[in-house]
């Protein structure tokens, strides 16, 4: 341990992995209220409310255990919607909450069904559209739900191959994304429900195209797609004529998120996520606002909420060595005032900076990553952890990340790699990961280890691999396909066999199987190939210790995925620790369970890599069962 490491205070796990103090502020459409998420006196996340500009905060919900993580304002005054499932099963129900009376109604009381909000609009304030798979667990139909009566009626039935819907400003379903047998998609459109569906665009299996929203008059459909380009562009499409206009593009990076006027539905800005988030202003009406916001404070800014009058904006500033700061911005005077930060306890703590880096993979492909090293320590000869993101069709981004800060504070160098197959870097980079699970996707990770070792940052004998979901799979691949590289591994809800993973996918993923076949492998015709990429088949290669955490109710990666590799390892007397959480799904939502698992992981890493560790202490209320 260096002198700098020994004098850097140990940041408690509770501070890093606990619930935020306040987060996700959203202004009501009428500008009267600010709603946000915060823990109650039992440390369960609830929806809270205050008057905008006031400090009369009060809790609205009373969730018993898992906490609420999603909510949306409707355009019916004083009514918001929130989502909740049961112990991580992902069968979400949509609840309506009256912020004055605190009355709660389950608007989708369908047993075993999953509901998601499709569209709310100011032009139809008394109803909204939801996608629900109650009729057939494989398919999402569109239901129209009346906010006054709570009744839901079928609006648009899924013919069997639609994987996404889009409605216009009047809540008329006018767009569908149809899955094709080869893994491609067709974009379907109709002028109104009395007209037949027409195919207006076809995407091959290596293309991506998503409808974003309709213009106010319904005459323009905005798309994010990479057809005829490398990276996804923002396109304005006239469905009637087929003509299109490219509004924003970057040759390497995908268009990411859109800033849209809440009433006129005009596109005002589009973001591109390079190493950091960058905005391109398209509408001069907000150019001065974006310039004023950029001067408020450091950090990547995002306008997360606006009222209908477009006078009040809620703006988030993401930092990498502290909390996210939320501001109220008043357009009339272009003034900003701090509302709160999500984790004020982080302010002033010895947090490390996240450094964007890149390196050439062994085949020459440029790989982008984020490096975090211990504060105050020379980055030489450190124990290191490769933290692998899930998906795999996702990406790591810049900003405060407990998965990076926690190891860095304990003395580890942390590398988070956007390996090939990650999103955001264009079509060529995404498709370079096709059929490359446990192959070149994994080689990109090993090349990341080489990057650390060749620069003297990492001690080659003290490198661990850690991740969740696909990152958990990568951990298992690391210990089986490249056992000489890693000193140990930590796997959260990672699949151990691509065969059993694909055999047990949730019913509502059935329409997406063609895409899985194209990007991963075909279960019907390539079983042997999928087994050749499955860590379960190579358990006898494992040499180093493994820790596995699993949610008992995970609908995506079933508990059997972890059970079977643990059983196989124990049959061969290989070193494995295993803990199952009875009330969790694909990840650990309850803070008690997070505290328990990361306490285990911290002791595990310290034992095998030699970093620092906070004492475990008493952790009450967790559901973990060590097996």
Mean pLDDT (the chain) is: 96
| pLDDT band for position 333 (cuts 50, 70, 90) | very high
Band of residue 2 on the pLDDT scale cut at 50, 70, 90: low
Query: Facing residues of 417 across strands?
Result: 369
Catalytically active residues are: 469, 554, 586
- The secondary structure of residue 284, as a DSSP letter, is G
Q: What integer pLDDT is reported at residue 7 of this predicted model?
A: 75
Mean pLDDT score, 390-410: 97
Q: Please calculate the CA angle 9-15-17 and round it to the nearest 5 degrees.
A: 125
Q: From CA 521, how far away is CA 514, in angstroms rounded?
A: 9
Whether residue 5 has pLDDT greater than 80: no
pLDDT per residue over 518-552, tens digit each? 999 999 999 999 999 999 999 999 999 999 999 99
CATH of region 354-610: 3.40.50.1820
Residue-wise pLDDT tens digits, 41-72: 999 999 999 999 999 999 999 999 899 999 99
Lowest mean pLDDT among 367-371, 518-522, 614-618: 614-618
> Is the pLDDT at 3 greater than 50, yes or no?
no
The model's pLDDT over 75-93, given as tens digits with 9 standing for 90+, comes to 999 999 999 999 999 999 9
Q: Is the pLDDT of residue 412 over 50?
A: yes
Is 469's pLDDT higher than 70? Answer: yes
For residue 262, pLDDT over 60 is answered with yes
pLDDT digits (tens, 9 = 90+) for 99-128: 999 999 999 999 999 999 999 999 999 999
Task: With CA atoms as reference, report the closest residue to 317 among 306, 308, 328, 332.
Answer: 328
Instruction: Please determine, for residue 617, whether its predicted confidence score (pLDDT) is greater than 90.
Output: no
Q: What is the pLDDT of residues 370-382, one digit of tens each?
A: 999 999 999 999 9
Residue whose C-alpha is closest to residue 597's, from 622, 614, 561, 564: 622
Kindly report the CA angle at 328 between 324 and 330, in degrees rounded to 5? 145
**Bridge pairing between strands 458-468 and 382-388:** parallel
Confidence category of residue 6, pLDDT binned at 50, 70, 90: low
The predicted structure's pLDDT at residue 570: 98
pLDDT at 618: 83
Q: Does residue 129 sit in helix, strand or coil?
A: strand
DSSP per residue, 385-408: EEEE-SSSS----SS--HHHHHHH
% of the chain residues with pLDDT over 90: 97
The full set of domain ranges for the chain reads: 354-610
Task: Give 140-170 pLDDT, tens digit per residue.
Answer: 999 999 999 999 999 999 999 999 999 999 9
The candidate with the shortest Cα–Cα distance to 318, out of 267, 372, 356, 354, is 354
Q: In what order do the strands lie in the sheet with 546-551?
A: 354-360, 366-372, 413-418, 382-388, 458-468, 488-492, 546-551, 576-581, 624-626
- Least Cα distance to 388 among 330, 310, 448 occurs for 448
Q: What is the pLDDT of residue 620?
A: 85
The pTM score is 0.96
- Residue 4 predicted with pLDDT over 70: no
Task: Average the pLDDT over each of 28-32, 494-498, 510-514 and give the range with the smallest value.
Answer: 510-514
């Amino acid at each position: 341990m260096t002198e700098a490491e020994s004098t850097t205070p140990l940041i408690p796990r509770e501070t890093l992995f606990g619930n935020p103090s306040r987060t996700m502020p959203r202004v009501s459409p009428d500008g009267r209220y600010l709603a946000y998420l915060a823990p109650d006196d039992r440390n369960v996340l609830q929806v809270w409310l205050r008057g905008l500009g006031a400090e009369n905060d009060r809790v609205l919900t009373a969730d018993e255990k898992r906490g609420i993580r999603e909510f949306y304002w409707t355009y019916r005054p004083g009514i918001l919607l929130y989502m909740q499932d049961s112990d991580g099963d992902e069968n979400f129900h949509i609840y309506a909450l009256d912020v004055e009376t605190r009355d709660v109604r389950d608007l989708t009381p369908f047993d075993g069904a999953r509901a998601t909000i499709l569209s709310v609009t100011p032009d139809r304030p008394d109803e909204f559209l939801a996608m629900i798979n109650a009729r057939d667990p494989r398919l999402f139909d569109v239901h129209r739900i009346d906010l006054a009566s709570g009744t839901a009626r079928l609006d648009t039935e899924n013919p069997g191959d639609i994987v996404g819907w889009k409605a216009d400003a009047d809540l008329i379903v006018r767009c569908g994304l149809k899955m094709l047998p080869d893994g491609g998609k067709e974009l379907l459109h109709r002028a109104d429900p009395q007209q037949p569906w027409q195919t207006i665009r076809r995407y091959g299996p290596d293309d991506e195209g998503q409808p974003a929203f309709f213009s106010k008059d319904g005459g323009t459909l905005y798309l994010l797609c990479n057809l005829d380009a490398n990276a996804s562009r923002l396109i304005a499409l006239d469905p009637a004529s087929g003509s299109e206009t490219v509004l924003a593009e970057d040759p390497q990076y995908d268009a990411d998120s859109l800033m849209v006027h809440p009433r006129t539905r005009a596109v005002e800005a589009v973001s591109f996520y390079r190493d950091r988030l960058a905005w391109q202003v398209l509408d001069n009406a907000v150019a001065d606002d974006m310039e004023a916001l950029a001067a408020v404070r450091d950090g990547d800014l995002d306008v997360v909420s606006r009222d209908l009058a477009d006078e009040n904006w809620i703006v988030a500033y993401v930092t990498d060595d502290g909390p996210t700061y939320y501001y109220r911005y008043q357009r009339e005077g272009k003034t900003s005032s701090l509302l709160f930060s999500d984790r004020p306890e982080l302010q002033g703590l010895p947090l490390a900076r996240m450094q964007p880096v890149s390196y050439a993979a062994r085949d020459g492909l440029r790989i982008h990553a984020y490096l975090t090293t211990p504060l105050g320590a020379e980055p030489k000869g450190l124990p290191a952890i490769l933290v692998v993101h899930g998906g795999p069709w996702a990406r790591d981004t810049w900003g405060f990340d407990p998965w990076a800060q926690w190891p860095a504070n304990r003395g580890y160098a942390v590398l988070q790699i956007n390996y090939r197959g990650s999103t955001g870097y264009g079509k060529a980079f995404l498709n370079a990961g096709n059929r490359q699970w446990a192959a070149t996707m994994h080689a990109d990770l090993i090349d990341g280890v080489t990057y650390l070792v060749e620069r003297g940052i990492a001690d080659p004998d003290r490198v661990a691999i850690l991740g969740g979901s696909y990152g958990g799979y990568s951990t298992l691949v690391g210990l089986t396909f490249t056992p000489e590289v890693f000193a140990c591994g930590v796997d959260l809800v990672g699949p151990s066999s691509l065969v059993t993973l694909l055999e047990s996918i949730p019913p509502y993923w059935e329409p997406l199987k063609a895409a899985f076949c194209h990007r991963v492998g075909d279960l019907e015709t390539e079983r042997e190939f999928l087994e050749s990429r499955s860590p379960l088949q190579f358990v006898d290669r494992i040499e180093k210790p493994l820790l596995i955490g699993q949610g008992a109710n995970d609908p995506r990666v079933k508990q059997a995925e972890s059970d079977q590799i643990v059983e196989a390892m124990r049959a061969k007397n290989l070193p494995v620790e295993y803990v199952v959480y009875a009330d969790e799904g694909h990840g650990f939502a309850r803070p008690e369970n997070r505290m328990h698992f990361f306490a285990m992981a911290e002791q595990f890493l310290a034992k095998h890599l030699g970093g620092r560790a906070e004492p475990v202490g008493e952790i009450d209320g967790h559901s973990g069962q060590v097996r």
